[in-house]
Amino acid sequence: MYSGRSLLPRPRPLPLLLVTGGGYLGYQHYRKKGLQEDGAPPSPASPTQVALYRSFPMRFISRTWGRINEVELPTWLRKPLYSLYIWTFGVNMQEAAVEDLHHYRNLGEFFRRRLKPAVRPLCAASCVISPADGRILHFGQVKNSEVEQVKGITYSLETFLGPQQHLNSSSYSPSSPSSSSFKDLLLSSPENDLFHVVVYLAPGDYHCFHSPTDWKVALRRHFPGSLMSVNPGVARWVKELFCLNERVVLTGQWQHGFFSLTAVGATNVGSIRVYFDQELHTNVPRYSKGSFHDHGGVVCLDKEGVALHKGELLGEFNLGSTIVLLFEAPKDFKFNLLPGQRIRVGEGLGSL
């Protein structure tokens, strides 16, 4: 007897979106790869392409992944599962404080594994050291208040950091025709300049990050946002990727003036933890687009801020992401880096 029900399965919006969107992005990837092989540079994503990418439920997926990471694994499964991950991403377990794979009860503990103290010595000759293990995506001087996330692809310094309280002077206005005014007013001296460096953490890297110098954090600012991938291919494709993604910005002062460290979230990296800030909660289910949340003073410590020492353990990611340093220094500061080079915590970034 005919029941009146359709013989066709009811369409499910989420799988349909993932399949069609994934197919489209896959097509774009191979199209760009073909253009690169022909010698043509890849073109940045259009606003429509970025909107489609951002429509994927990356925050939900990342929260789900976070829950999976905390599921305790049976002892017999730990070694084969972690060994597969080690082989896939080239993890060096000889550096881990605990090399026994059975020790890590879940994937989260394995991702956040600590290192033996001696394997990351601090460079005494450099005033700024790498805060994380990873790869250098870009570095240099900040020009015209535009910062390069990779070569040729920039983002707005003001959008990335958000408004600064000390810029509320009569000499600065967001609509000022001088594109360099925001950058210039971050500087404490005309003899200095603003520098930046971007470190990308791959899934196989050590996932904790450390203080890159002796400095004092005066403000923690949390920007909820998207959780798009930050791998170099996507960073070359999506303009202002670092401004669209969720991030935690720490700003303060060091011996030469302004200093900031920003931890940028990514797909499956919804959790960004800063050890001195127990009130920070990232990748919450709901947020207002374009919003940010400040914590001045910073969090249940003295009103003058949080003093951090060079190499001090500062925070952690789940899986991998990106660290952006922006700092003021004398104009003769020189980076001792090459684009794309591998770097480890404690290695020098540059010198005066």
Residues marked active site are found at 133, 210, 321
Mention every residue, 6+ apart, whose C-beta is less than 8 A from residue 324: 147, 160, 196, 197, 198, 199, 242, 261, 262, 264
On whether the CB atoms of residues 198 and 323 are closer than 8 A, the answer is yes
Burial class (CB in 10 A: 0-12, 13-18, 19+), 169: exposed
Type of residue numbered 259: F
Give phi and psi for 351, each to the nearest 5: -155, 165
Best CA proximity match to 300, nearest among 285, 273, 279: 279
**b/e per residue 172-182 (b: at least 16 CB within 10 A):** beeeeeeeebb
Angle at 224 between CA 221 and CA 225, to 5 degrees: 135
Give phi and psi for 307, each to the nearest 5: -85, 125
- The 3-class secondary structure across 112-131, one letter per residue, is CCCECHHHCCCCCCCCEECC
Best CA proximity match to 343, nearest among 198, 157, 136: 136
Q: How far apart are CA 28 and CA 305, in angstroms?
A: 46
Burial class (CB in 10 A: 0-12, 13-18, 19+), 241: buried
On whether the CB atoms of residues 254 and 295 are closer than 8 A, the answer is no
Residue owning tokens 């953490």: 201
Residues constituting the chain? 352
Q: How far apart are CA 246 and CA 179, in angstroms?
A: 25
